[in-house]
Amino acid sequence: MNRDAMEQPIPPLLAALALWGWQTGLWPWALGMGLLIEAARFSRLRWELGQGDFNRLWNFTILLFLGVGLYLFLARQGLGTVGSLVSAGSPGDRLDGMRQLSQTAILFLRGLPFVLFVFVLVHAWSRSTTLPWSTFSLYLRARRSREGEEGRVHPGYLYFGLVLFSSCAAAANPVLYPVLLVGVVAWGLWPWRNRRFGAPVWVGLLVVLLGSMLMMQRGVVAMREVLQALENRWLQRAAEERFDQLDSFTALGAVGRIKQSGRIVLRVRAEGETPPGLLREAAFNRFRGNHWGSVHREFQPVTAALDGLLWRFSAERRVGRVLEVSRYTVDGEAPLALPGQTLAVRDLPALSIETNHLAAARMQGAPPLANYTVDYGSGGGFDGPPGDEDLELSQLAAPEQEVIREVAAELRLAGQSGQEAVATVARYFTTGFEYSLWQGWNRSATNASALVSFLREWRSGHCEYYATATVLLLRAAGVPTRYAVGYSVDEQRGDHWLARGRDAHAWCLAYVEGRWQDVDTTPGDWRKREMALAGWWEGLGDWMSDAWYRFALWRQQGGNWRIYVFALSMFALSWLAWRQLRGSRWRRTRVGQPASGRVEPWPGLDSEFYAVIRQLERAHGERAGHETLRRWFQRLGLSGSRGSEAMFEALRLHDRLRFDPRGLTAGERERLRELVRLRLTSPGTVLKGGPR
């Protein structure tokens, strides 16, 4: 953008602000702001400001920008939203977090005209027209001090573009808005048009621009519909992937490597003891088509003690061993990871806890980071008694029933006691079977199901294969069984234990000797194999997870921390803003009135060239408020006239004295005084075309 363009009259800011206010619903504010700026066109009063004033005012604007952004970020739970993107939330929760951040960004964009309004208003009521680009950048200020000359810009044009851009942040009036936007842009660009082309050409180009905008708008709407459809499919998939305590779709038969995450899910403390190896989240008793489900699907609330922080799961009232568990919740809900002999849960600030017949427990109305203590030990547990469904094999396909009965016959399970049958099945899987997360396309020589192939051909698989086969083989032996899922806790770090995403595990629950027992037949080396696949970046992820965990814990224990953070930030920003503005010494003057005789703290306001300006104003009238001295001299016809070369040399020295941080040398200042004396003593310059 060249200097001539910048010296055009300021754009129609009132029209731009009115369009912005109409789109955002802030039209009373928009009209008031526009009228305050436009009033400067009709007033002779002006503020006397130097370049240093504008630099400090822009610094203040940046601080205001940061303050507004910080307020919106904290007021709209920005830290919590960012946390939902990196913590243990589901894909759906991460999508909601991205939506929240985008809405905060749009709200901030809509309010940007408020943030920059003070700077533009002060500039409109000042004697300045264009400003150096370095006004808006500390880097350019330092560069300008080294290189000297630089381009200039009228802040009104920048504000004009920003206001129109902010008006796009609202979705109101989608049909009429593009027409009005093109009209306002045309109004602002009209003084810059190339005069070689007539008005019809310009109008035609604007019509083409408007048509292109409408076509692009249709394309954007169509693209938005496509993205919305993809988003809905993503949400649907996220809902399917979210853990369900009533249904479990296994990965039996899945081709390729089962992806396991190193994300920390549970943090467990056992007061110097080794915690239970398995923490259960759910159990199922019906298997059909690689899908485990629950026959008993109803959840019932657990009655809490009077203080609301103690839930008893067993009739046994004693306190057993103690286990502390920490996990994140999703909208206040999450399954409770519990050992098999749970007596009670305490110190959990949740609204309710519910359980079902299969000993699945879930919390509702819990904080984002749920910390609870589990009492467990002999006599604990809240599993429902076994039923016919815990012995059911008829739901299996015929080939699966056949192979289960064949293996049971090979192991001679018939007639064995429950404890003997459990030991026999466990020995069976320790010989000739191995753990594997990989299943290839051509592993099976027949069209047999995954379970049949696992028992007869592959003899390798992950925990879901072993747990499913164990449940079904023990049922063939007459032992009631269920399929359990949860986490294996085996990694110690410091005074606590960790369960990661890859520690998610499945095992068998067998009803033996009058109680439900955990039966885990997965080869014992599965944890080492899982850990061997961990990436080198897992340490960095653990560090970030630990930092976020400590912050979440502090946030929940520290009360309304947002108020303190916001107050401290506002105090710091206010102090910096005061430091920027305290040195300003603005004074009121009138258009055409030179600086007063008092000593100014900034060089240039005492320039001798002001005497030449007063002489020309007395002879030819005051210059327009938007005119620079160079454009004014050209309009008066001084360019090319007698003495014009000396006149423009004096103007160049005057500009350097005012705007160059290095100022003038003593010799250059004396040259300016000499040129001014020559002009004042020889004012008879002939103007081209006579006075205007």
Long-range contacts of 529-534 (CB under 8 A, 24+ apart): 529/435, 529/437, 530/260, 530/437, 530/502, 530/503, 531/491, 531/502, 533/260, 533/437, 533/502, 534/262, 534/502
Helix, strand or coil, per DSSP, at residue 498: strand
Read off the pLDDT of each residue in 291-299 and give the average, rounded to a whole number: 77
Least confident of 159-163, 527-531, 594-598: 594-598
51 or 567: whose pLDDT is higher? 51
Residue 439: predicted pLDDT: 59
Pairing outcome for strands 460-461 and 434-435: parallel
For the cut 80, the answer to whether the pLDDT of residue 281 exceeds it is yes
Cα–Cα nearest to 161, from 27, 1, 51, 50: 1
What is the rounded radius of gyration, in angstroms, for the C-alpha atoms of the chain?
39
**Distance (Å, rounded) from C-alpha 596 to C-alpha 614?**
13
Residue 237: predicted pLDDT: 46
Read off the pLDDT of each residue in 37-41 and give the average, rounded to a whole number: 86
373-394 residue pLDDT tens: 888 887 787 888 888 888 888 8
Phi, psi of 517 (to 5 degrees): -125, 150
User: If you count them, how many residues does the chain have?
Assistant: 692
Positive or negative, the CA dihedral 457, 459, 464, 466 is: positive
128-179 residue pLDDT tens: 888 888 888 877 777 765 555 567 888 888 888 888 888 877 666 667 777 7
Residue 232: predicted pLDDT: 47
Residue 510: predicted pLDDT: 92
Residue 256: predicted pLDDT: 36
pLDDT level of residue 649 (50, 70, 90 thresholds)? confident
pLDDT level of residue 285 (50, 70, 90 thresholds)? confident
pLDDT level of residue 413 (50, 70, 90 thresholds)? confident
For the cut 80, the answer to whether the pLDDT of residue 346 exceeds it is yes
For the cut 60, the answer to whether the pLDDT of residue 355 exceeds it is yes
**Distance (Å, rounded) from C-alpha 49 to C-alpha 602?**
10
60 or 191: whose pLDDT is higher? 60
For the cut 80, the answer to whether the pLDDT of residue 222 exceeds it is no
CA angle 119, 124, 125 (to 5 degrees): 105
pLDDT level of residue 577 (50, 70, 90 thresholds)? low
Residue 421: predicted pLDDT: 92
pLDDT level of residue 341 (50, 70, 90 thresholds)? confident
Is residue 356 a contact partner of residue 296, using CB atoms and an 8 Å limit?
yes
Partnered with residue 301 across adjacent β-strands are: 354
Least confident of 37-41, 98-102, 363-367, 422-426: 98-102
Residue 608: predicted pLDDT: 87
Helix, strand or coil, per DSSP, at residue 275: coil
189-213 residue pLDDT tens: 777 777 677 778 777 777 787 677 6
Residue 492: predicted pLDDT: 81
What is the token pair recorded at 336? 């409770």
Phi, psi of 518 (to 5 degrees): -80, 130
Residue 508: predicted pLDDT: 93
**Distance (Å, rounded) from C-alpha 91 to C-alpha 78?**
18
Residue 381: predicted pLDDT: 79
**Distance (Å, rounded) from C-alpha 554 to C-alpha 557?**
5
For the cut 80, the answer to whether the pLDDT of residue 40 exceeds it is yes
Read off the pLDDT of each residue in 632-654 and give the average, rounded to a whole number: 81
pLDDT level of residue 566 (50, 70, 90 thresholds)? low
672-688 residue pLDDT tens: 888 888 888 875 544 33
pLDDT level of residue 471 (50, 70, 90 thresholds)? very high
- The answer to whether the pTM exceeds 0.85 is no
Read off the pLDDT of each residue in 629-652 and give the average, rounded to a whole number: 81
**Distance (Å, rounded) from C-alpha 166 to C-alpha 107?**
10
pLDDT level of residue 438 (50, 70, 90 thresholds)? low
Cα–Cα nearest to 253, from 533, 411, 457: 457
% pLDDT > 70, the chain: 72
Residue 241: predicted pLDDT: 43
Read off the pLDDT of each residue in 422-426 and give the average, rounded to a whole number: 91
